[in-house]
Amino acid sequence: MKVGIVGANGYSGVELIRLLQQHPYVTIEKIVSHSTHGKNILELYPHLYGVNEMILEKWNLDELSNLDFVFFATPSGVSKDIIPPLLDKGVTCIDLSGDFRLKNAGDYETWYKKTSAPAEYLQKATYGLSEVYRDKIKQAKLVANPGCFPTATLLGLLPALKKQIIHANTIHVDAKTGVSGAGRNANLTNLFTEINENIRAYKVGEHQHIPEIEQVISDISGEQVPITFITHLIPINRGILCTMYADLVEQVTTEEVHQIYKDMYKDEMFIRIRPIGEWPTTKEVMGSNFCDIGVMVNRRTNKLIIISVIDNLVKGAAGQAMQNMNIINGWEEHIGLNNSPLYP
């Protein structure tokens, strides 16, 4: 299968290169960049010597329409304009930006401060949370790959929501991410002297992933509920850790909740439920497509505590995108993704 990557010059784009190079059924035919076209990818990422030495090209609809599959690792506000004509030519597309995740155009414009994609294409898009919407993804021609925070948050919450053991309107999420989540563009906040030995909350109550999380919670629970969601930037390169709290509907034990999670994810190769009393860390999933989850019932407050971790560039971006490609093509989901995490 011939694939292309639009936005190959960013962190998610180069992560797609790393993962797709390992996939036995695909060949990377085109890598595209608006800002760095004409350069060899090695000029941006010398670690790719002997791995991928392609030239970054301009966007060309006719050339890309000859491919079977195209990934878009572009900033928000870009893919909404260039995916529709490619989709109309029959090319399957996976978008790693937020342009097609929200079904309501007004929500996108409110939270992203940009003009939305045409409504007909928003309805054509399938939300690509692999473990939850697998059956829909199998039939998809356009997949809206989930955001990194929503992936970690939703995979942590969904068993409790589906079993209705928590009050959905009491969910609080404390989310922490590494610096690569902000992309590769120069930014004062991301300078070493600003981020090192520091932690900061950002986009408090205004993060664009909030409506995405609420949309899925509504779909699963059947009710419209707002959540409290606070993001923090921490001085690590990659990784997300989400700590979630919610009121329990009735008294249950940690052992009972742990069994619910194990049962619900027993057939999911990329979800690892940690033993009771053992809490996952970002380093234990780094470079992998795993999501590790730990749970505990705080009997004193009658709250459920959930901690989930992912690599924001893999399960939170390129890895889940490749998992969705495997699903669409009827391939085993682990193909190209069965590497163990990098440690230490």
Task: Cite the active site residues.
Answer: 148
For 55-70, b where at least 16 C-beta lie within 10 A, e where not — what string? Answer: ebbebeeeebeebbbb
The rounded radius of gyration (Å) of the Cα atoms in the chain is: 20
Cβ neighbours, 10 Å, residue 145: 29
Please list the alpha-helical segments (H only) found in the chain: 11-20, 41-44, 61-64, 79-88, 105-112, 119-124, 134-138, 148-162, 192-195, 210-221, 254-264, 319-328
The residue among 244, 237, 243, 245 whose CA lies nearest residue 312 is: 237
* Partner residues linked to 94 by β-bridges: 71, 143
Both tokens of residue 249? 């509907």
Instruction: Identify whether the C-beta of residue 79 lies closer than 8 Å to the C-beta of residue 5.
Output: no
Both tokens of residue 280? 């996952």
The residue among 303, 300, 28, 297 whose CA lies nearest residue 171 is: 303
For 263-288, b where at least 16 C-beta lie within 10 A, e where not — what string? Answer: ebbeeeebbbbbeeeebbebbbbbbb
